[in-house]
Chain A
Amino acid sequence: MAPRGRDKDTPRWAGKGFEYFEDQALSRARMRLLVLTVFVFLGFTSIGLRLADISIGAQANTNGGSISAVNHARHRAEIVDREGRLLARNVDIVSLGADPREVWDPELSAESLGHYLSNLSEDTLVRRLASDRHFVWLERRISPQQHYDIHNLGLPGMQFVEEQRRVYPHGQSLSHLVGFSNVDGEGIGGLELGLNVLLQSTDEPVILSVDLRVQHALRDELSAAMEEFGAMAAAGVVMNVNTGEVLALVSLPDFDPHAPGESSGDFWLNRVTGGSYELGSVVKPLTIAQALDEGLITPDMIFDVSEPLEVADATINDYHPILEPITAWDVLGESSNIGTVEIAGLIGPEGQQEFLADLGLFDRLPIEMPGAAHPLVPTNWGPVETATISFGHGLSMSPLHLASATAAMVNGGFYVEPTFLRREEGAEIPRRRVISAETSDTMRAMLRYVVTDGTGGNADVPGYEVAGKTGTGEKPRPGGGYYRSRLLSSFVATFPSSDPEIVVFALLDEPHGTAATGNYATGGWTVAPAVGRIIQRIAPFAGVMPTDMQQRSEMANINSSDGADAVTLPPQ
């Protein structure tokens, strides 16, 4: 600090001794030292901080792969069946490309590659490798072995591009159910479309309600029946009556989900959810159940069905005339149209509409499957409509509509919404009461009677107490009226009738009778035997034990305890 009041012309050191200069030098040196210390400190601090930064962040930088791996497709979760069996999955597929600028010798490279790429001629390879582009495709989707071999050639400029592809291990078998997706990982059909958002957002496999074994058995038997009777198409669905879980869904013809474009539009129609049919007599149990539930009839009530019935300007006939009076048991057992119409007359149009609406037959099913059919309901619901709808004509519905409604008839009286996703154990099942438990009991007995004493005998499987109803719908003519010989033959079954677990519905479109069926193409002759075989095959998978198992086992034990006729099992 300069002293105040100093003369301008006088120097600072004027009048000061040697000590003054010494003090000045010392203070300057201290100042320099301080500045140096600060700089050195800052320097080391920054080096230290950078060191710490590099040490901690080191991992982020170590991932420097040299192979270009581009992932084109979006993430898409696996689809598995209810037991965890794989139904659809993305797999990594490697494709081979090249950067021609990095290729040293196109001809030599092409010659080496030629040993492993059989689809491309050497000339094509040379042309592509010698082009002046930055990237050329050589072969899409090479096998792991090709990948390994070509990688080991060590050719410069080769690029392996990883892509994802959706694989459906069970191919056609589940094409309508699981559906398919495109190369961009977007669902296009079936549950791949219906569950698209879920599949793209979850990492966990999506568990369907389907059982692969049941699916296979259903498809196997349906395609056999379709072939045997020369039918145009077939459809079938297996459902748990208590939970509404769809265990199997088959619509034939089906297609290859890996190449869906190769099939025409008809192959794409899912007849079980997207088709709408006048199903015929399989609807009769609904009419009978409503009349029973409202106390309008009892099972033992007698009906006279000997004469054709005139309703407004329509005449109702039976397939086979029944001359003597019959009970309600036989109205169902012999599938009498006249008897059913008489019962529908007791119900009336309003009551019938209310009941069928309650069974969800007027609305699209609230299912995960896209393209669910809207039932075709007549605009004018008069006495004629009431009469024909009571036996399944004049109201179109999808097979899944009918399966769900029939499940409600036999499961204690609850309508359960069908679903394609597995219900968690203990989860609340959305359901509503449509008929009383007592009516449901009666319906089980009556449907069992159809199989033991009526038109459904061909569906019986000893031990599983099959109950069911045949259906033979005539296909409507485009101009009105019906074709007499173009039939939709069907069968709806449930088992075991004492405590039903499963409902099976199967349909053949325009089957032709054979010598073995006496040329009959009706549901009882064509579809019922197939349904019997389906039930025999799927019951163990569905966890249904033969009801006479205990009895047979006891008999076996009694026989074996006398020891006289010990039997040896044949070797395998």
Chain B
Amino acid sequence: MTTMVNYGLMVALFMAWVGLFAVKDASREAGMQVHALEQQIQDEEAAIQNLATDWAILNEPSYLQGLARNHLALNSMAPQQIVSMAALPPVPLHDMAPTNSGTFLASAPVGRTPSNRRVGAFMQTRVAPPAQLSEAVPHANVFPHASQVRPTLRPANEG
């Protein structure tokens, strides 16, 4: 009887040893993985830092000002060009031509059919998922007052 218990204990001890070894091995593996990940995070953070520094350097205002002066026909903003959002007259959607930069201008003649319009990126991102963006979507959903207002936009300094 005692012998049986002893054998049993020996087997249990062996199994515990095997189990402990397996756990230890797994933890070593995990430790190395953690270390590798930490190293990777550190590298990525260093890369992010370098990119953020590059970004800051490239966004240096006098550099941007030089670029804008040489390549864009832009001037400093005059106070007359600032109006409040609420003061803008509502404009029907079908009179807005989306531009590359995501802004849009009133340029289309009234009454043009909406069938051949490009759908601008600004609509896909801001208004509704693309699947719902068909010609069937009433403009009123986007701009509730669209049907009541004549399509005009004027420069603020005309007033």
Chain A residues near B (Cβ < 8 Å): 44, 48, 51-52, 54-56, 58-59, 62-63, 85-86, 89, 91-92, 144, 167, 169-171, 173, 212-213, 215-216, 219-220, 461-464, 533, 536-537, 539-540, 545-546, 549-550, 552-557, 559-561, 563, 566-569, 571-572
In the complex the two chains form, is A58's CB within 8 Å of B152's CB? Answer: no
> CA of A90 to CA of B87 in the docked complex: distance in angstroms?
46
- Does B70 lie at the interface of the complex (its beta carbon under 8 Å from any beta carbon of A)? no
When distances are taken between beta carbons in the complex, the residues of chain A under 8 Å from B76 are 533, 536-537
Are the C-beta atoms of B79 and A167 separated by less than 8 Å?
Answer: no
Determine whether the beta carbon of B24 is less than 8 Å from that of A59: no
Q: Which of chain B's residues have a CB closer than 8 A to the CB of A463?
A: 79-80, 82
Chain A contacts for B87, CB-based, 8 A: 549-550, 553-554, 556-557
Whether B35 is near chain A, meaning CB under 8 Å from some CB there, is yes
Other CB < 8 Å A-B pairs besides A549-B83, A555-B159, 20 of them? Answer: A55-B23, A55-B27, A58-B27, A85-B56, A144-B50, A167-B53, A170-B56, A216-B61, A463-B82, A533-B76, A536-B76, A536-B77, A549-B79, A550-B84, A556-B154, A560-B152, A566-B150, A567-B153, A568-B107, A571-B105
Q: Say how far B33's CB is from chain A's closest CB, in angstroms.
A: 10
Q: What residue in chain A is nearest B74 (Cβ atoms)? A: A572
Instruction: List the A side residues contacting B139 at CB < 8 Å.
Output: none
Interface pair B82/A55, CB less than 8 Å apart: no
Across-interface contacts of A59 in B (CB, < 8 A): 31, 34-35
Interface string of B49-76 (1 = CB under 8 A from A): 1101101110111100100000000001
| Chain B residues closer than 8 Å to A144, beta-carbon distance | 50
Between-chain CB contacts (< 8 Å), 21 pairs: A51-B20, A51-B21, A51-B24, A52-B20, A58-B24, A58-B31, A89-B52, A92-B49, A167-B53, A169-B56, A215-B61, A216-B61, A553-B156, A556-B83, A556-B159, A560-B153, A566-B152, A567-B155, A568-B153, A569-B153, A569-B154
A162's nearest neighbour on chain B, judged by CB, is: B46
Residues of B contacting A461 with CB < 8 Å?
79
Partner of A55, one of B20, B52, B152, B153: B20
Closest residue of chain A to B108 (Cβ to Cβ) is A568
The residue in chain B whose Cβ has the minimal distance to the Cβ of A463 is B79
- Shortest A184–chain B CB gap in Å is 21
- Whole-angstrom distance between the Cβ of A168 and the nearest chain B Cβ: 9
Instruction: Please report the C-alpha to C-alpha distance between residue A513 and residue B99 in the assembled complex, in whole angstroms.
Output: 47
Residues of chain B from 83 to 102 with CB closer than 8 A to chain A in the complex: 83-84, 86-89, 99, 101
Our pick among B77, B78, B101, B158 for the contact of A567 (Cβ within 8 Å) is B158
A215 to B60 CA separation, bound complex (whole angstroms): 11
Would you call A559 and B158 a contact (CB within 8 A)? yes
Is B121 on the interface with A (CB-CB < 8 A)? no
- B109–chain A nearest beta-carbon distance, Å: 10
Given contacts A89-B49, A553-B87, A556-B158, A536 and B152 within 8 Å (CB-CB): no
B35 in complex: contacting residue of A62, A89, A559, A569, CB < 8 Å: A62
Chain B neighbourhood of A556, CB < 8 A: 83, 87, 89, 154, 156, 158-159
A290 to B84, CA, bound (A): 39
Question: How far in angstroms is the closest Cβ of chain A from B56?
Answer: 4
Instruction: Please state if A566 and B151 are interface contacts (CB–CB under 8 Å).
Output: yes
A540 neighbours in B (Cβ, 8 Å): 77, 82
| A462 lies within 8 A of B28 (CB) | no
> Which residues of chain B have a CB within 8 Å of any CB of chain A?
13, 20-21, 23-24, 27-28, 31-32, 34-35, 46, 49-50, 52-53, 55-57, 59-62, 65, 76-80, 82-84, 86-89, 99, 101, 105-107, 150-156, 158-159
Alpha-carbon distance A51/B46, docked complex (angstroms): 37
CA distance A63 to B76 in the complex (A): 55
User: Cβ of A539 and Cβ of B79 under 8 Å apart?
Assistant: yes
Q: When chains A and B are docked, how far (Å) is the Cα of A286 from the Cα of B79? A: 30
Q: Which 9 A-B pairs have the closest CB atoms?
A: A553-B87, A216-B61, A463-B79, A169-B56, A55-B24, A555-B159, A86-B56, A567-B154, A566-B152
Chain A residue nearest in CB terms to B25:
A55
* Interface contact tally, CB-CB below 8 A: 153
In the assembled complex, which residues on chain A have CB atoms less than 8 Å from the CB atom of B62? 173, 216, 219-220
Contacting residue for A568 out of B27, B88, B99, B106, CB 8 A: B106
Which residues of chain B come closer than 8 Å to A536, judged between CB atoms? 76-79
Q: Kindly report which residue of chain B lies nearest to residue A461, judged by CB atoms.
A: B79
Instruction: Please give, as numbers and ranges, the residues of chain B lying within 8 Å of A219 by CB-CB distance.
Output: 62
B84 pairs with A545, CB closer than 8 A = yes
* Distance A557 CA – B46 CA, assembled complex (angstroms): 53
The residues of A that contact B79 with a CB separation of less than 8 Å are 461-464, 536, 539, 546, 549
Q: Is the CB of A462 within 8 A of B20?
A: no
Q: How far is the CA of A56 from the CA of B35 in the complex (A)?
A: 15
Which residues on A sit within 8 Å (CB–CB) of B159? 552-553, 555-556, 559
Residues of A within 8 A of B106 (CB): 568-569
A545 nearest in chain B by CB position:
B82
Of the residues A220, A539, A568, contact of B65 by C-beta under 8 Å? A220
Task: Give the nearest-CB partner of A554 in chain B.
Answer: B87
Q: Is there an interface contact between A546 and B82, defined as CB atoms closer than 8 Å? A: yes
B66 to chain A, nearest CB (A): 11
Pair B56/A91 contact, Cβ less than 8 Å: no
Closest chain A residue, CB of each to CB of B76 = A537
| Contact pick for A86, options B34, B53, B65, B78, CB 8 Å | B53
Q: Which of A54, A171, A559 contacts B154 (CB 8 A)?
A: A559
Contacts of B88 in A (CB 8 A): 553
CB distance from A42 to the nearest CB of B (A): 15
Q: Could you say which of A51, A533, A554, A560 has the most chain B C-beta atoms within 10 Å of its C-beta?
A: A560
A404→B137 CA distance, assembly (Å): 58
B111 CB to closest chain A CB, in angstroms? 13
Residues of chain A within 8 A (CB-CB) of B99 are 571-572
Q: CA–CA, A546 to B84, complex, Å? A: 10
